[in-house]
Amino acid sequence: MDEIALSILHYVYDHSERQIPLAELELQLGRDIHSLRPVIEDLKSAGFIAEEEYRLEILAAGRSFAQSRWA
């Protein structure tokens, strides 16, 4: 997993009590959606995050990965 993917997952995990708007993610990571979108799609395909109406939330597999790495 590359640095951007880990940054996205870490941010979504740290804020798992709510859904994260993509605009907030852009601001926090300092990258535009065009550079984030392919990574977001990879994380969705891996089952780590879900997206609904331009908002991200962490899924059980993503939470387990994050806990094993950062908790």
Please give the helix or strand (H or E) that residue 28 lies within, else none. Answer: helix 22-29
pLDDT tens sequence across 41-58: 999 999 999 999 999 999
pLDDT in tens, 6-41: 999 999 999 999 999 999 999 999 999 999 999 999
Looking up tokens 């605009």 gives 23
Domain that holds residue 64: 3-70
Closest CA to 20 of 35, 3, 36, 34: 36
CATH number at residue 41: 1.10.10.10
Please state the domain count of the chain. 1
* CA–CA dist 69, 71 (Å, integer): 6
